[in-house]
Amino acid sequence: MNKTYNLIKEIVDSWKYKVLEDDGEHIVIRYQMNVIHICPNGEDETFVSMLLPNFDEVTEENYPEVVMCCHKLNEKMKQVKFYTVNDVIIAASEFFYMEKDDLVFQMKLSLSNLIAAKVNYQNYNN
Number of domains in the chain: 1
Contact in structure between 49 and 41 (CB atoms under 8 Å) = yes
- pLDDT for 43 equals 66
For residue 72, the enclosing domain spans: 3-125
Contact in structure between 96 and 46 (CB atoms under 8 Å) = yes
Residue 103 — pLDDT band, cuts 50, 70, 90? Answer: very high
What percent of the chain has pLDDT above 90?
A: 58
Nearest to 28 by CA among 50, 4, 44: 50
Say yes or no to pLDDT of 1 above 60.
Answer: no
Say yes or no to pLDDT of 99 above 90.
Answer: yes
**What CATH code is carried by the domain that includes residue 19?**
3.30.1460.70
Q: 16-71, pLDDT tens digit by residue? A: 999 999 998 899 999 999 999 999 987 668 999 999 997 788 888 988 888 888 88
> What count of other Cβ atoms lies within 10 Å of the Cβ of residue 13?
11
